[in-house]
Amino acid sequence: MKQNTDQQPGNNFIHSNITVYSPESSVKHPVHMIYYMFRDLFASRELAWRLAIRDISAQYRQTALGLLWAFILPIANTITWIFLSSSGIVTIRNTALPYPIYVFTGTMIWAIFMDAVNAPLQQTTGAKQMLAKINFPKEALVMSGIYQTLFNGAIKIVLLFLVLMLFKIFPGWTLVFFPFGILSLILAGTAIGLLLTPVGMLYTDIGKALPLLMQFLMFLSPVVYPIPSTPWAAAIFKLNPITPLILTTRDWLTDFSPEYLGYFFLINVLVIVLLLVVWIIYRAAIPILIERMSA
Amino acid sequence: MNETLVTVENVSKKFCRDLKRSLWYGMKDLGSELVGRSHNYDGRLRKDEFWAVKDVSFELKRGDFLGLIGRNGAGKTTLLRMLNGLIKPDKGRIEMHGRVGALIALGAGFNPILTGRENIYVNAAVLGLSKKETDARFDEIVEFAELGEFIDSPVQSYSSGMAVRLGFAVATALEPDILLLDEVLAVGDFGFMKKCFNKIGALKKKGVVIVFVSHSMHMVSANSNKVVLMKDGFHKEYENPADGVEAYFNLFQKNGDQGIEKVCIGNNSINFHHVDIHTKVLRPGDSFVVSILYNTDVDYLDAEVDIAISTSHEVSNHFQATNKAYKKVIDLNKESKSLCIKINDVRVNNATGNIHIAIWSHNREELLFWCRIPVEFRGVDHATGNSFLDVFYDIK
């Protein structure tokens, strides 16, 4: 595996820059590996930014509705659930917030999380051609995905604020924590997405099953309805690691005191650990994926 | 100048023929990689696997220009991709000193919707240039690519040549220590190819190591100082490029009777069973007759016959002609069963070579026959080159 590359231009590469490729596994030298992981991450920032700008501007240049696409789906979802509950087709337990706001904040936050989950596989698949032909720090793809999720998320959040104002709900001082909530959702989403990417690149089954699984996961999270009162269902909801992330983020936005703050922090620590692990897997997987994609 | 920049030691790589199995091996390899085992599987082949590259070793020093040649599928591109670090070797070791620039694909990462200007920044970032460095080289890139006002148009409106020029311009702006080129120059027009070779020449002068994959033996022999010929994953290194080029051509020779190589001897309806030039040696001024015997069920009227002479000294043909050029009509009909063509006054000195004969049906719709006959061109006394000197006194 790569033991030393220097993507940084302008260095005196002649003396310092030796790259060795051998069949040896990079995991055998963990200290080296972690050093190169962070160095590549650092080296990828310019490229990640460029790729994000490229994708965002390309994404909106050829659409008539433009930025609307960032929130059409969550809005459609919100309208569906407001219809379902107000028509009495489904009965939803009283929520502390007005139900439309509860659904709207929930689906918007969920949509940001979804974007984060989808991004790694999407970015890596989209960069297939580039991966097969150019050597560059692969971290750029993941970072670019995060930037794009942040950009699309920002549009959603602006809309979210407008709607909150309309309903005369004004966020309190806890709003300063709201970005941390969003960030931990994005990191959790990225970790899950990154975990699925190596297998998803080899077998398209993953990409096909992902929307289905995410739909299922949404119904096990307090997105469009609160945690149910039936004990066994409530237990499942509380086991779902996404639950504290969504609830805490929503509480910070709408000026409620978060109920599961401890759990929220625990999940965040786990997410960071998971991210590191899946990052290692991702790096190890890329050369194998390239080989199998083009063989 | 004697610094070694590229060291390749016993590098091997295996691939799998079966897609489903290949994906499954990929999963297994990933597993081995993660538990810290190297995924070469003790260097053994699993079911459906084969060595795409086997035990390749060579060294390149500053200023070396390596021509990497071989038939399609011989492992050239696989080797190049290992040199670039895109895929890991299954055995052996590669050491690269310095910044590596690779033109394995021109314009990889071009987004068709974005403008040339935007794409330059994206591509430069992919190759590892910062925005500041790209700014500094921007004008040079645009000038080299000859894009003019098109620089602010979306890349999807570019001609393929324009996209290629842009890709090459960005890649060489990287100022690499090692440049890997994979058949990418074959696409541009003549003027641009000339420019590319001037650029490559300038890089060579600066001491850049260039690895050049090509099927153009002319480009290989004109530029390289070393040749590696790949065949079924194995390699052979030639210090003298001419030897390498000759060995490359020999790959395509299936030597039959008297060294006559017949690539194609007919189809279901026509069969060429004998070809001869009745001599093995030609002296300047000699004529020769190609006689061909065939059997055919249908008449091939107004056929075309190419006769070419190539010598080992030259990359292209020394002489080539078709019967059309000399306004001769050739019919291959059921009755005659033989064909004789006379070439007058051959003027070649001191060379070994081949006479190529190709027979086509009307309008070159089908290649019916193709063979090469080895021949020796003897010189007159004191002649050393392969051309024949003739003197006229009546030039005004």
Can you give the CATH number for the domain in which B184 is found? 3.40.50.300
Beta-carbon contacts of A176 under 8 Å, excluding residues fewer than 6 positions away, are none
Q: Pick the residue from chain A with its C-alpha nearest to B24.
A: A202
Q: What distances in angstroms separate CA A71 from CA A66, A146, A216, B22, B247, one per listed residue?
A: 11, 17, 21, 40, 64
Amino acid symbol at B330? I
Asked if residue B370 and residue B284 are part of one domain, the reply reads yes
A window 8-67, beta carbon within 8 A of B = 8-10, 13-14, 17-28, 43, 46-47, 49-51, 53-54, 57-58, 61-62
Q: Is residue B279 part of a domain?
A: yes
Total number of domains constituting chain B: 3
Instruction: Decide if B126 and A284 are in contact by the 8 Å CB cutoff.
Output: no
- Substitution target in B14, B35, B88 with the highest count of A β-carbons within 10 Å is B88
Asked whether residue B370 is domain-assigned, the answer is yes
Q: Which amino acid is at B362?
A: H
Closest CA of chain B from A108, distance in Å: 29
Instruction: Tell me if B90 sits within 8 A of B44, measured CB to CB.
Output: no
Q: What is the pLDDT of residues A198-240, one digit of tens each?
A: 999 888 899 899 999 999 999 999 998 888 888 999 999 999 9
Say how far apart CA A161 and CA A175 lie, in whole Å. Answer: 11
**Residue ranges, chain B, pLDDT below 70:** 1, 39-42, 105-109, 185-188, 252-260, 313-315, 380-390, 394-396
Please check whether residues B283 and B333 belong to one and the same domain.
Answer: yes
Q: What is the pLDDT of residue A190?
A: 96
| Tokens describing residue B377 | 């061109």
Rounded Cα distance, A84 and A76, in Å? 12
Residue A88 contacts B where some CB pair is shorter than 8 Å: no
If asked whether residues B146 and B232 sit together in one domain, one would say: no
Tens digits of residue pLDDT in B97-125 = 988 888 776 656 677 777 888 888 888 88
How crowded is residue A281: how many other Cβ atoms within 10 Å of its Cβ?
Answer: 19
DSSP B147: -
C-alpha A277 chain-centroid distance: 16
- Asked whether residue B146 falls in the same domain as residue B266, the answer is no
Q: What is the DSSP letter of A155?
A: H
- Under 8 Å CB pairs connecting chains A and B tally to 173
Residue at token pair 């590669």: B94
State the residue range of the domain holding B206: 1-14+53-99+176-252
The answer to whether A188 touches A267, Cβ cutoff 8 Å, is yes
Residue B388: what pLDDT?
Answer: 67
Residue A62 DSSP code: T
Using an 8 Å CB-CB cutoff, list chain B residues near A19: 85, 95-97, 100
Phi and psi based region of residue B377 (left: phi greater than 0; alpha: psi -120 to 50; beta: remaining): beta
pLDDT of residue B35: 84
Cβ proximity of A169 and A132 under 8 Å: no
- Contact A2/B at CB under 8 A: yes
Residue A278: predicted pLDDT: 95
Check whether residue B166 and residue B220 sit in a common domain. Answer: no
pLDDT tens-digit map of B49-79: 899 999 999 999 998 999 999 888 888 988 9
| Six-digit token string for B50 | 């084969």
Of the CA atoms within 13 Å of residue B20, those in its CB half-sphere come to 0
Contact indicator for B155, B111 with CB cutoff of 8 Å: yes
CA pair distance A15, A265, nearest whole angstrom = 46
Strand partners, B294: B272
Q: What is the pLDDT of residue B113?
A: 77
Q: Which value does ipTM take for this structure?
A: 0.78
CB proximity under 8 Å: A 99-138 to B: 127, 129-136
pLDDT digits (tens, 9 = 90+) for A41-87: 988 888 888 889 888 888 887 777 777 777 788 888 889 988 998 88
Nearest CB partner across the interface for A292, out of B22, B40, B125: B22
| CB atoms inside a 10 Å sphere around CB B268 | 7
d(CA B272, CA B369): 7
Inter-chain residue contact A8 with B174, CB threshold 8 Å: no
Mean pLDDT of A137-165: 92
* pLDDT given at position B192: 79
Residue B88 shares a structural domain with residue B118: no
Tell which wins on pLDDT, B30 or A275: A275
In a domain, B386, yes or no: no
Residue B32 domain-assigned (yes or no): no
Regarding whether B160 and B283 lie in a shared domain, the answer is no
Decide if B390 is inside a domain.
Answer: no
Tell me which of A99-108, A263-272, B1-10, B310-319 is least confident: B310-319
CATH number of the CATH domain containing B298: 2.70.50.60
Angle, CA B193 vertex, CA B192 and CA B197 arms, to 5°:
115
Gap between the Cα atoms of B352 and B249, Å rounded: 14
Q: Among residues B283, B299, B382, B389, which one has the least CA distance to residue B337?
A: B299
Structure tokens at B388: 């024949």
Instruction: Provide the token pair at A162.
Output: 């407008």
User: How far apart are alpha carbons B242 and B249 in whole angstroms?
Assistant: 11
CB-CB contact of A192 with A117 (8 Å):
yes
Tokens of A283: 């790096």
B373 and B284 in a single domain? The answer is: yes
Residue A140, number of CB atoms within 10 A of its CB:
27
Task: For residues B269 and B371, state if they share a domain.
Answer: yes
Indicate if B202 and B330 belong to the same structural domain.
Answer: no
Nearest CA in chain A to B32: A25
The pTM of this model reads 0.75
Domain stop point among B175, B207, B233: B175
CB contact under 8 A, B128 and A8: yes
Per-residue pLDDT, averaged over A24-29, amounts to 81
pLDDT of residue B259: 61
Q: What's the token pair of residue B6?
A: 């590229």
Segments in chain A forming alpha helices (H): 13-16, 30-43, 45-61, 72-86, 99-126, 128-133, 139-166, 178-202, 205-219, 231-239, 242-253, 261-294
Residue A7: its pLDDT value, please? 39
CATH number at residue B112: 1.10.8
Angle at B383 between CA B380 and CA B389, to 5 degrees: 85
A255 Rama sector, left if φ>0, alpha if ψ -120 to 50, beta otherwise: left
pLDDT digit string (tens) for A79-95? 998 899 888 888 887 78
Single out the residue in B219, B252, B285 at which a domain terminates: B252
